[in-house]
Structure 1
């Protein structure tokens, strides 16, 4: 089993010039968390929810809670945004209106070729340091052929395992 056997061929993409607000809207409606960024059919980047989080929920809205008695030498930081509401979203959208995806996308994209085997795919998608959820499948010229999500690989492994089980 190789990447070409597992990949989804019909891939939703965005352009480097697409507006980050529009891309965020598309991500909100999509059943996944990122898009390959293509230009003339070639993969030039990838944009994920993680790339957009700080644009629409900046860390300056983080809640700080002092611990102990004055003087407070320690504090807990909660990554919970208590103030993010429709007004904040509107302000964030206005502030980032017209900003192209190319300014926030990851340019150093981890890709695989169509002949990548299951072991290579597993190594990339299970790598804790990289934390990759989707692997674009590209040809020698970096033209996008398809994409493999973690779920795609898990389903393929289950199908292969189920096919190898004796009837009973």
Structure 2
């Protein structure tokens, strides 16, 4: 099996200049958890995922420094703080980030494969050490998008092969 046999070719994409709010609408419209980001020449310049957008709503500083001991507090204790979603002001964060270009949020230079990539290369990528890689854009020699392979595409191919 090769990438060209596994990939889907009807790929929904976003532009690096699309606003965060535009991409939120695409996630609401389509049943995808990530989109390739392509420039005006249809070259892959990044990938944006739901997780990238969720990160906009988490506080940047999650470490609380607690002074301990007597003044002058020569030591501190660090404590990780994860506020519950109910405590985050999503409306304010959405307004603050709505006009940001997706190029500021996306993962630049994503892992890609060529149409001739074999199943072993694809499996190594999708099951490797980086748990954030759930899909791989398939690109031609010039970096142009020709398709997309998601983990589920590989699983379906193995299922169909066994059937």
Range class of TM-score, shorter chain:
0.7 to 0.9
Q: In the comparison of the two structures, how many residue pairs are matched?
A: 152
1:114-133 alignment to 2 at 5 Å? 114-133=115-134
Separation in 2, partners of 1:94, 1:124: 36
**1:31 CA drift (Å):** 1.5
1:25 is aligned to 2:25: yes
Separation in 1, partners of 2:80, 2:125: 34
Q: TM-score, normalised by structure 1?
A: 0.80
Aligned to 2:48: 47
**Structure 1 gaps, min length 5:** 65-72, 163-168
- Secondary structure at the counterpart of residue 156 of structure 1: helix
1:83 is aligned to 2:87: yes
* Per-residue Cα deviation, 1:32-52 (whole angstroms, up to 9, x for no partner): 211100012110111111221
Separation in 2, partners of 1:25, 1:57: 20
**Structure 2 gaps, min length 5:** 65-76
Of 75-84 and 96-105, deviating more is 75-84
Separation in 2, partners of 1:119, 1:126: 10
Separation in 2, partners of 1:79, 1:160: 46
- Secondary structure at the counterpart of residue 124 of structure 1: helix
* Per-residue Cα deviation, 1:91-124 (whole angstroms, up to 9, x for no partner): 1121113110011111121000001111111110
